[in-house]
Amino acid sequence: GEDVEQSLFLSVREGDSSVINCTYTDSSSTYLYWYKQEPGAGLQLLTYIFSNMDMKQDQRLTVLLNKKDKHLSLRIADTQTGDSAIYFCAESIWDTGKLIFGQGTTLQVKP
Amino acid sequence: EAQVTQNPRYLITVTGKKLTVTCSQNMNHEYMSWYRQDPGLGLRQIYYSMNVEVTDKGDVPEGYKVSRKEKRNFPLILESPSPNQTSLYFCASNIRGRTDTQYFGPGTRLTVL
């Protein structure tokens, strides 16, 4: 069945790079997403990658997709305290509006 | 401004007291859905609707009902809420088949005592 897995917690120092990893199972995924949720807030779409791409870069964010291994990662360069949040990866199921979410990775940025 | 609105944003209620959480979108999207978010579980889909009068169960539909009488509205109904339905609820909408057009509402935090 459809499943998306993430590690639950990551701690980094301010200025370092953060890498949040995600694995998924459905090979028919069309888009893969990264969402950010700050404490007490809703979901903010950070970036997404189409399943036929390997990499996408957007300012401090780099998304890498290894379709063979069904592995997705989000790299945040020069991590700031404002990046502290929960990060969700999600895959979309072909021809539906359904998103399958991972458990969320809490990113803690220490000054 | 394109948006999905939910009401109420916060609700504390008691077991068994029927409640409705409203969801409305202004983008003429066909597809709407409800998710619940629980710590360590991420977001899970409760119900979805492909269009007016077309609804179907998601992954965790037990204890919930929905209706889609108009394209813009997709209310979530808890006929007899129980404490295990205490959660953060999100409504979302998108063009059918296009999750890259998906918008999420701001969330409704529900506590059932």
pLDDT of residue B106: 93
Confidence band, pLDDT 50/70/90 cuts, at residue A23: very high
Which segment, A13-27, A80-94, B62-76, B97-111, is predicted with the most confidence on average? B62-76
Category of B100 on φ-ψ map: left (φ > 0), alpha (ψ -120 to 50) or beta? alpha
Q: Phi then psi for B84, rounded to 5 degrees?
A: -75, 0
pLDDT of residue B97: 79
Contact call for residues B104 and B4 (beta carbons, < 8 A): yes
Q: Say if residue A14's pLDDT is above 90.
A: yes
Distances (CA, A) of B56 to A8, A99, B53, B75: 31, 15, 10, 14
Instruction: Give the type of residue at A102.
Output: G
Instruction: For chain A, give the percent of residues with pLDDT over 90.
Output: 70
Return the closest-CA partner of residue A92 out of A44, A34, A13: A34
Cβ–Cβ < 8 Å for A97, B29:
no
Cα distance between residue A97 and residue B23, in whole Å: 17
Q: Which of A5, A63, A96 to mutate to test the interface with B (most CBs of B within 10 A)?
A: A96
pLDDT beyond 90 at B36: yes
When pLDDT is averaged across residues B51-78 and rounded to a whole number, the result is 96
Residue of A nearest to B41 (CA): A103
Write b or e for each residue in B4-37: b if 16 or more Cβ atoms lie within 10 A of its Cβ, otherwise e.
Answer: bebeeeebebeeeeebebebbbeeebbbbbbbbb
Q: For the residues A80-88, what does the mean pLDDT come to? A: 96
Give the closest of A8, A31, A102 to B100, CB-based.
A31
The CB density around residue B61, as the number of other CB atoms within 10 Å, is 16
Nearest residue of A to residue B47 by CA position?
Answer: A98
Interface check for B99 against chain A (CB to CB < 8 A): the answer is yes
Q: Is A30 on the interface with B (CB under 8 A)?
A: yes
Q: Max Cα separation, chain B? A: 38
- Does position B23 have pLDDT exceeding 90, yes or no? yes
The mean pLDDT of chain A is 91
Residue A56, judged by CB atoms within 10 A of its CB (0-12, 13-18, 19+), counts as middle
* Residue A69 pLDDT class (50, 70, 90 cuts): very high
Residue A95: per-residue pLDDT: 62
CB contact under 8 A, B90 and A42: yes
| pLDDT on residue B71 | 97
The mean pLDDT of B63-84, rounded to a whole number, is 97
Band (pLDDT 50/70/90 cuts) for residue A15 is: very high
Mean pLDDT calculated for residue range A17-30: 88
